[in-house]
């Protein structure tokens, strides 16, 4: 499904999980909030693939040499666009892969909704696609601060 706005978001669900029809609109909203918070105004696209734990484990093994399931993988098109003025009129930000099984487990563990967990993972991944990471303590603090600022603007995170 393609969601039209300034950013085109291709969402593909490879699982049997039935998702709330409003989720696609919420995904687009959070992506636009992240880009707005980073002053990125170019048109562009991003793809989101929903998979199961087995598939994300295989991708994690192939691309990160880690033979474990993870909640999300981000595949940025650019090394970083966070510290530069974007000169391109069209940005292909990259790809996001989310394990719906892991998102469901984490939602239950954290005591919030499945949809909220998916939206958190989208925000987190878009920040990765822009160039943020959480490998070093300072970078982790910066990324978490960005996430919290974005979450304050999203109604589902206020509940």
Helix (H) or strand (E) segment spanning residue 93: strand 90-99
Per-residue burial over 47-67, b = 16 or more CB atoms within 10 Å of its CB, e = otherwise: bbbbbbbebbbebbeeeeeee
Please report the pLDDT score of residue 41 as a whole number: 79
Please report the pLDDT score of residue 87 as a whole number: 61
* Local mean pLDDT, 10-residue blocks, the chain (159 residues): 65 94 90 88 91 98 96 90 66 95 96 93 94 76 84 67
Please report the pLDDT score of residue 64 as a whole number: 95
Structural domains in the chain, CATH included, are 2-158 (3.40.390.30)
């Amino acid at each position: 499904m393609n969601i039209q706005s300034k950013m085109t978001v291709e969402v593909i669900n490879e699982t049997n999980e039935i998702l709330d029809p409003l989720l696609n609109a919420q995904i687009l909203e959070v992506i636009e909030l992240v880009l707005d918070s980073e002053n990125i105004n170019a048109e562009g696209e991003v793809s989101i693939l929903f998979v199961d734990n087995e598939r994300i484990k295989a991708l994690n093994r192939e691309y990160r040499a880690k033979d474990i399931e993870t909640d999300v993988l981000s595949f940025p098109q650019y090394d970083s666009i966070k510290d530069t003025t974007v000169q391109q009129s069209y940005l292909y930000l990259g790809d996001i892969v989310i394990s719906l099984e892991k998102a469901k487990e984490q939602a239950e563990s954290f005591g919030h909704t499945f949809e909220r967990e998916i939206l958190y993972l989208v925000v987190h991944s878009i920040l990765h696609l822009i160039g943020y990471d959480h490998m070093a303590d300072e970078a982790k603090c910066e990324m978490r601060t960005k996430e919290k600022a974005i979450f304050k603007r999203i109604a589902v995170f206020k509940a």
